[in-house]
A and B are shown apart, each in its own frame.
Chain A
């Protein structure tokens, strides 16, 4: 576990958090601007001095009770920020070598070729940072951090400075990072889309406090959290490609063990591939009976589990359990009233769009 207890008075609020993050996968710190998530990350890195304790497994980086504080340059971490902060006086190759040369050879667990390959920067090695595009710069910054074979990778909104196209260019590399290297990542973001795509564990922060924390899928299915507000609300599901329908270019995705099946556009993934699927609340509608003569191909039988008010007074959020898997639907309160929805009641959920994320 990555354990941190941090206390730090800031302008306007006091940061006071206790975190316990899994030592594998991507943990996202999510919250509005100024909620303290960057400060948490900086304190984990030792760049900011908060009171408390920071430990990565058995390795203690800070323990005020014991008077211990390991300075940043002695912590086996990688740190990537929004604007890359590459060294402008060094070319890409020497940027990558900078950290690698500073760790003992015995600790170099990741080969530079592997990193260069993973991030697709082989053709950039002789370039200067100021000749790179934003997306290239970010990939080099990630590679530079990985070259130190860190035990923990800290990322502070690494995509925030990029436009949608550049973001789409970098995101697949972040996916591969997790798939190929077993390095835990703490990822700061205020974009729910990034979190839904990358995170496995989610910590919600607001004004210096932890609002809620837990596995991503559970958190996204909760109706009482800020993640359930806004256009990004919706569940994240782990699925497996079960069948590919070549004539219609569709793929059948199996969610869990039961009858939860979704048809989505076939992106060419082979049968058996694990995929992450996002079903937005606004793309789910509910009926009392199965429908015929509808264009929506995904109909799921489930049970209403919970109903909550949405941000706007006209809307309601309804969580429906399909087998053991939750799906969230956004309806008007009038519709919810007309359908006489109540917990325990069987309904049909119609999923219009399924977003495949891996």
Chain B
């Protein structure tokens, strides 16, 4: 592989790691809220979170570009804060990836939280645990398989994105030229051997990650205390 390809690999890993980290921090409270809320706005927020699943990446990329561009509200905010502009930077890619991969992190977390019986959390309350205490001592440990699934899917999905990256990040080596874009470049330039190497590596990566995930989460540790 060329040094440029290695740079793309490193950049992709960094992007996916940052995105996953931020998504777990943001997605955990969002998933918890969606799992526990009785708000009538729940369907609306669920839909907002799920949008990236159905929308073409170009649509998301397009609107993000408008929002983060020099005339967009987000762009004006970042500029007034002295952060510069986000499009065509690594930071911009991270922001876009966080939004784009959101459902893949929030949904497993939400399902994991929903699977915790209310009576288990109530038991914690009767044992003197306050709301935050209950969350960290009962909800999070019981949602661990969901947490793992969320992290793996968030990471893998970020590694695999293309359209949003192209719209927001472009193709700047060392800054925004991630693997999927590098493969596209190789194909464009008819460097099929290079394209093959990276593409095959991606297939193996995806396979290994998913098999590992299914193996780890296989013995679905259910709460048998519900059964008599």
Contacts and interface: CB of A to CB of B under 8 A. Distances in A.
B225 A73 contact: no
Nearest to A162: B228
Nearest to A104: B128
Interface centre among A88, A130, A148, A162 (most CB of B within 10 A): A88
Contact of B120 (A85, A102, A130, A163): A85
Contacts of B130: 71, 73
Interface string A148-185: 10000000000001110000000000000000000000
Interface in B104-120: 117, 119-120
A103 interface: yes
Contacts of B127: 73, 98-99, 102, 144-145, 148
Of the candidates B127, B224, B226, the one having the most CB atoms from chain A within 10 angstroms of its own CB is: B127
Interface string B127-171: 111100110011001101000000000000000000000000000
A86 B225 contact: yes
A85 B128 contact: no
B188 interface: no
Contacts, number: 81
A342 interface: no
B128 A102 contact: yes
Nearest to B120: A85
Contacts of A148: 127-128
Contacts of A208: none
Interface in A86-107: 86-89, 98-99, 102-103
A72 interface: yes
A33 to B, nearest CB: 18
B133 to A, nearest CB: 8
A87 B142 CA distance: 9
Given A89-B141, A98-B137, A73 B129 contact: yes
A132 to B, nearest CB: 8
A166 B160 CA distance: 55
A88 B128 contact: no
A103 B129 CA distance: 10
Contact of A73 (B120, B128, B138, B228): B128
Interface in B170-228: 221, 223-226, 228
B53 interface: no
A102 B223 CA distance: 24
Interface residues of B, number: 25
Contacts of B47: none
A99 B128 contact: yes
Contacts of A72: 122, 125-126
A45 B119 CA distance: 13
Contacts of A84: 225
Contacts of A326: none
B128 A103 contact: yes
Contacts of A45: 126
B221 A87 contact: no
Contacts of B119: 81, 83, 85
Contacts of A112: none
B228 A134 contact: yes
A314 interface: no
B124 A98 contact: yes
A61 interface: no
B123 interface: yes
A89 B225 contact: no
B115 to A, nearest CB: 11
A329 to B, nearest CB: 38
A73 B138 CA distance: 14
A162 B129 CA distance: 28
A45 B122 CA distance: 10
B224 A85 contact: no
A79 interface: yes
A78 interface: yes
Contacts of A77: 126
A110 interface: no
Nearest to A100: B127
Contacts of B223: 88, 130
Contacts of B129: 73, 98, 102
B225 to A, nearest CB: 6
A334 B142 CA distance: 64
A77 B130 CA distance: 14
Contacts of A89: 138, 141-142, 144
A130 B222 CA distance: 9
Interface centre among A77, A79, A89, A148 (most CB of B within 10 A): A89
Interface of B: 117, 119-120, 122-130, 133-134, 137-138, 141-142, 144, 221, 223-226, 228
Given A88-B225, A130-B225, A162-B228, 6 more contacts: A45-B126, A47-B122, A73-B127, A73-B129, A86-B123, A129-B225
**Smallest CB-CB A-B distances: 3 pairs:** A99-B127, A79-B126, A102-B128
5 contacts: A72-B122, A83-B225, A87-B120, A99-B126, A102-B133
